[in-house]
Amino acid sequence: MSTEKGVKKLGFDSFFFLFFMLVWSATVSAGDSGWMPQIHGFLQAHAAARLGNVDCAVQTACDWPFNEQRLQLKAEGSGMGGSLGYAAKLDLLHDAALDDSDSDVRELYADYNAEHLTLRAGRQVNTWGVADLLFINDTFPKDWVSFFGGLPLEYLKLGSDALRLDLYPEFADVQILLADFREDRLPDRDRFVLPGPEISAALDEPSDLEASLRVSRYFGSWDGAVYLSRTHYRAPAMSQIAGQWRGEYPRLNAYGASLSGPLGNGVLNFEAGYYDSVRDRDGTDPAVENSQTRLLIGYSRQVAEETTLGFQAYAEWMHDHDAYRRTLPAGVPERDELRTVATLRFTQFHLHQTLRLSLFAFWGVSEGDGYIIPSVRYAFSDNLWGELGANLFVGDRNGQFGSLGDNDNVYATLRYAF
């Protein structure tokens, strides 16, 4: 399976590379002044120290889960009067926590723009939905390791190797996305203290393309969108066959909608989604997620000068909960049929917006846990900013946030942009 996938992946990647080179050479040969890449980027140092006194496993970095220095180079250009364009974002990373060096192509894509359509091919980040740090219709890959370690928000989103077509007919904007599968980056035992025994498993990545569709339009002052995704769960479903653990990424179909508009001096957001767990429609496979319905309502507004407050209420209803309970292996903590989460976001600026105080808090209402992220950021100049913050996991250790309870950390980030 892995060989097959390798061949297929190479084919898809080669297509992107070819398209990218075509666009690049076309923009160069066109003699357009815009083709010359504009180079920007940043140097960034980030470190996080774990709080608490639970001992780390030997040879892990969980006391200092992050100590990294990173150079990001961004290049972009366009030609043919803006009808062709390209962009690249490359990170060169020195990971002192794990004593490793690496490079990461975060984005690399080419654009074609016509009057009623645009095409983007290559590694790209896409963000859908109207929720704030809760995800319903955004089924795209995410990096939770970076997020829980306090890295800047952009590191939560991982790029996908994809082909994206945007159409602009009169009645709506239509976005069609074909993407290679990419898994989420989940907390690992190199940097995190996790409950339960360590399982080593062979992981089978899906080889078929994923397809997503978004249709959006304005209804007066409201933005409405519907979403369809033929995708996979991005966390592996583990099962044991003949004593060997095996991980797969089961198929997922997601259907949803969102609506966003003004209320008072604030913004009201609704988002809903149905997760059709194709592999476990009757809910009897304990390894695979059951189907779910997810609902969210959110409101944010400015409450005082330079001060904004946002609230969200979120519910996740597990379908076929009885079947799930019947087949749940002994000793595994049972999840509720209805999981509810509330969030609070507070942001305040001082000193001509050079100093930012921020708090984001998840409260796991049904699971009795929480996740609190306070931070202070100061911009020393246009080029240099520093941030101090913390990731604090509280409450019931069986909850989704509480299970990370041994990983409270404080972090510091310093970035010089050029």
Candidates 60, 67, 69, 118; binder of other proteins (CB under 8 A) is: 118
Specify the DSSP class assigned to residue 395.
E
Which residue of 46, 121, 124, 227 would you call a contact of other proteins, by CB under 8 A?
124
Draw the binding track, 228-267, toward other proteins (x: CB under 8 A; -: no contact).
Answer: --------------------------------xxx--xxx
x-or-dash string of contact with other proteins, 70-109, rule CB under 8 A: --------x--xx--x------------------------
Min dist. Cβ of residue 13 to other proteins (A): 21
Q: Does 154 bind other proteins (CB under 8 A)?
A: yes
User: Tokens 């060096």 correspond to what residue?
Assistant: 101
Minimum distance from CB of 318 to other proteins (Å)? Answer: 29
By CB under 8 A, which span of 46-54, 151-159, 231-239, 270-278 interacts with other proteins?
151-159
Name the residue nearer to other proteins (CB basis): 12 or 378.
378
User: x/- contact string, 37-76, with other proteins (CB under 8 A)?
Assistant: ---xxx----------------------------------
DSSP codes of every residue in 243-310? TEEEEE--EEEEEEEEEEEEETTEEEEEEEEEEEEGGGTTS--TTSPPPEEEEEEEEEEEEETTEEEE
Nearest to 97 by CA among 198, 225, 235, 191: 191
Residue pointed to by tokens 């794990």: 98
Which region, judged by CB under 8 A, interacts with other proteins, from 51-59, 60-68, 190-198, 376-384?
A: 376-384
Number of residues that bind other proteins (CB under 8 A): 61
The yes or no reply on residue 345 touching other proteins (CB under 8 A) is yes
Residue 82 or 195: the one with the smaller Cβ distance to other proteins is 82
Cα separations (Å) of 13 from 10, 76, 208?
Answer: 5, 20, 14
2: which 2 tokens? Answer: 């892995």
Question: Sign of torsion, CA 14 16 18 21?
Answer: negative
Q: Nearest-CA neighbor of 230 among 205, 250, 246?
A: 250
Return all residues near 164 (Cβ < 8 A) that are at least 6 apart.
Answer: 119, 120, 121, 124, 126, 175, 176, 177, 178
Q: Which of 386, 387, 384 is nearest to 417 (CA)?
A: 384
Closest distance of CB 282 from other proteins, Å: 37
Kind of pairing between the strands at 251-263 and 244-248: unpaired
Least spacing, CB of residue 347 vs other proteins, in Å:
5
User: Could you identify the residue written with the tokens 């829980």?
Assistant: 148
**CA–CA dist 60, 81 (Å, integer):** 52
Binding region for other proteins (CB under 8 A):
34, 40-42, 78, 81-82, 85, 111, 113, 118, 124-127, 130, 132, 152-154, 156-157, 166, 168, 173, 216, 221, 223, 260-262, 265-267, 269, 300-302, 304-306, 308, 345, 347, 349, 352-354, 356, 358, 360, 373, 375, 377, 381-383, 385, 415, 417-418
